[in-house]
Amino acid sequence: MDRPSQLPLYITLAVWRRALAEAIWLLAGCVLVMFAFHWLFVYLSSLISTSSFTGLFTELPDSMGGMLGISIAEAATPPGRIALGYVDPTVIIIAVVWALTRASDAVSGPLDRGSLELTLAQPVSRMTVLSANIGITIFGAALIALAAWLGTCCGVATVSVRQDGMLSRLFYGQQMVLLSKLVEYRDFIPSAVNLFSLTVLMAAYTTLVSACDRFRWRTLGIAGSFTLIQIVMKMAGLATIHLQWLFRFTILGAYWPQALALAGDRVWELSFRYNGILLGLALVCYLAAAVIFNDRDLPAPL
């Protein structure tokens, strides 16, 4: 039998193991899909020539030119096209699914199921329960962002593109060149970190809602609606210069992974600015959630 001094640590580890066990299959799915998608995105982007890509977007109205978040000339380059994968709807959906699903289970999930009272009946604090969910959620966000970057790296290492160049001393034409000779792997690390920061913030405000609520379905509804509003505001701001003021009121105004991949010497400055905003807001939400959960009276199970 465990000594009393060892019992709290044993139960704390059990809470963390249970949090990981509840999330492991969703995490595995998100990581695999994110990795495969970015590898596939690199391949698909290599099938479009620079001239075709440029011609596609020059046919759009001038007001739609900013939808990419970077200039058309930048997007037409191999690094630019690859970086656009980080703002693809598939990537955002994966991040939203992980963040909202896991964070909504912080308080209102087990409270709705009636299991929170049983957990807190053990010698374990409320902060231990909350920190386990937060820790596993942030860990998963890091793995998902890492999977995105590794998928990009695998695509860059294995995919070739046609480039104009000298075939010999006398002939000029097209040749197949590996993307690894045209693109630096490290250029996409800031993009992956920006994705991680956004995922953590979405999880943080969902945790805050969960700490205030008792029904998981309502937590998901509130957090999901807020997230959808943020996406619409970002798209509206990108669509026309007259609505760019919306960036000041949306968390996605600090999510620019495509720009970070092409930032050059300004990458550190922009990374600290964008990720600082996202992670700073996440910290505020998590602290507020901890205070609210620690002080609130838990309702009796229905």
| pLDDT value at 182 more than 70 | yes
Task: Convert the pLDDT of each residue in 231-287 to its tens digit.
Answer: 999 988 887 778 888 888 899 999 999 999 998 889 999 999 999 999 999 999 999
pLDDT of the residue at 171:
46
Task: Convert the pLDDT of each residue in 38-56 to its tens digit.
Answer: 999 999 988 876 656 555 5
pLDDT of the residue at 2:
46
Single-letter amino acid code for the residue at 101: T
E strands, the chain, where? 160-166, 172-178
* pTM check: above 0.85: yes
Integer Cα distance of 175 and 170 in angstroms:
15
What count of other Cβ atoms lies within 10 Å of the Cβ of residue 207? Answer: 31
| pLDDT value at 170 more than 50 | no
Q: What is the mean pLDDT of residues 130-147?
A: 97
- Listed residue (294, 274, 259) closest to 84, CA to CA: 259
Q: What is the mean pLDDT of residues 202-213?
A: 96
Tokens of 101: 């699903």
Task: Convert the pLDDT of each residue in 53-91 to its tens digit.
Answer: 555 555 555 555 566 677 777 777 888 889 999 999 999
